[in-house]
Amino acid sequence: MIERLSDPEVLSNINALLESKPELLEQWEAIALSDILGRSLVMDGQFIPDE
* Span 5-50, pLDDT tens digits: 678 888 888 888 888 887 787 888 888 888 887 888 777 777 777 6
Instruction: Tell me the pairing of strands 42-43 and 46-47.
Output: antiparallel
Global model pTM greater than 0.75: no
Amino acid 37: pLDDT: 79
Contacts of 50 (CB under 8 A, 6+ apart): 11, 14, 15, 37, 39
